[in-house]
Amino acid sequence: MTTLDDYGGWPGVLGKLAAGQDIGPGEARAALGAILAGEATDAQVAAFIIALRLKGPAVGELLGLANAMRDAATPLDIPANAIDIVGTGGTAGRKAHAMNISTMACFVAAGAGATVCKHGSVKASSTSGSFDLLDVIGVPITASPQQVEQMVRAAGLGFAFAKTFHPAMRHVASVRSEVGISTVFNLLGPLSHPGHVQRQVLGVLERSLAPTMAAVLQATGSVRSLVVHGDGRFDEFTTTGPNLVVDLNEGKMTEYWIEAADVGLPAATPDELRGGDPVANARILSGILAGESGPLRDIVVLNAAAGLVVAGIAGDLAEGVEAAAAAIDDGRAAKKFDEVTERPSG
């Protein structure tokens, strides 16, 4: 494998980025590889991630960066049909009212028959990250790789904590915190699942990133993925307005728009989709699994439906909505919750 010195070291890479030029997959992989090996200074790390942010990441760059993340990750052996439902984070206007929609959708999708391995972390700037919620409801978030593998195979639902599987990220933690804005690492989380899932629902905050992220998934061999940008503000499917979807199916990409009404769900307003801290979100999840109706259930059902599509269980989103709703109504989603947590859902 080539090293950063083969590309002129940091002056070579940073010089290109500062000039607005894309770097190749090999350069990106070597640069991040050096960072994750602890061979870069904080100044070099900050310069690299800010230069990428200002230029905007290209497909080849993201591919190289994702490969570097996987090179340094602790591997996870999970079934080939496993899915993930994930967003890049940083949803506009939601930092104070994060609802952990994709995490809740994982329980419903698993209840409907999908094999799910959720990859994520604790909060960075919002009120509740996915693993903050999981911790509150009793999921053992510090489970070892072997324990996660066992959970996925036994229960069809498991959770891979980024801190456990990407220990090299400790070399960028302080810089990310001090920079304080969304960076390329927000995009790399969904692209660097330690189990190399080939079926994903991936939400992006910026519309322009949808085809870019889909192209990266295409290059990494994704079997079926839905990349979604929701109503100009959400990194997930939303019931508040139109969703841009880039559908990647066995190498072929198609792009379309879909709204709640198209799949038999009522529209909602953003104010109706407010979450809170992990304890508040745990109550929301318990209510949904207990059969409470309303906008919060609807958006979870919609995102679970997308998971069922990429899992090959549902032929389309409308069929997925019916299957996800049925898994809640007949108690299968609540049963799945009870299988993987240390306290009952009720």
What does the pLDDT look like over 271-330, one tens digit per residue? 999 998 999 999 999 999 999 999 999 999 999 999 999 999 999 999 999 999 999 999
Range list for CATH 1.20.970.10 in the chain: 4-72
Which alpha helices (H) appear in the chain, and where do they start and end?
Answer: 9-18, 25-36, 42-55, 59-72, 101-111, 130-137, 145-155, 162-165, 173-179, 184-191, 209-219, 278-289, 295-310, 317-329, 332-340
Q: Give one DSSP letter per residue of 77-119, joined into a string.
A: ---TT-EEEEE-S--TT-TTS---HHHHHHHHHHHTT--EEEE
pLDDT of 346 higher than 50? no
Instruction: Tell how far CA 117 is from the center of its chain.
Output: 11
* Residue 1 confidence (pLDDT): 77
218-225: average pLDDT: 97
Mean pLDDT of the 228-242 span: 96
- Rounded to an integer, the average pLDDT of 49-57 is 97
Closest CA to 213 of 244, 236, 237, 246: 246
CB count in 10 Å sphere of residue 32: 29
* Per-residue confidence band for 344, with pLDDT thresholds at 50, 70 and 90: very low
Is the alpha carbon torsion for 36, 199, 281, 262 positive or negative?
positive
Q: What is the mean pLDDT of the chain?
A: 94
Which pLDDT score, from 0 to 100, does residue 125 have? 47
* 106, 118 contact by CB (below 8 A): yes
β pairing state of 243-249 and 252-258: antiparallel
pLDDT at 324: 99
What sign results for the dihedral spanned by CA atoms 125, 129, 131, 135?
positive
Superfamily grouping for domain 4-72: Transferase, Pyrimidine Nucleoside Phosphorylase; Chain C (1.20.970.10)
| Each residue's pLDDT tens digit, 119-154 | 998 855 445 578 999 999 999 999 999 999 999 999
Tokens of 85: 């439902």
Distance CA 192, CA 68 (A): 9
Let me know how long the chain is.
346
Around Cβ 257, how many Cβ atoms within 10 Å?
10
Report the distance separating Cα 126 and Cα 48, nearest Å: 24
pLDDT confidence tier of residue 97, bands split at 50, 70 and 90: low
CA angle 203, 65, 176 (to 5 degrees): 75
Please list the residue range(s) of the chain that carry CATH number 3.40.1030.10: 83-340
Q: Which of 249, 248, 268 is nearest to 260 (CA)?
A: 268
The amino acid present at 73, given as its one-letter code, is: A
Q: Give the list of residues 6+ apart from residue 177 with CB closer than 8 angstroms, or none.
A: none
For the purposes of burial, counting CB atoms within 10 Å of the CB of 299, is it exposed (0-12), middle (13-18) or buried (19 or more)?
Answer: buried
Quote the tokens at residue 145.
Answer: 């790789």
CATH number of this structure's domain 83-340: 3.40.1030.10
Residue with tokens 């993930």: 84
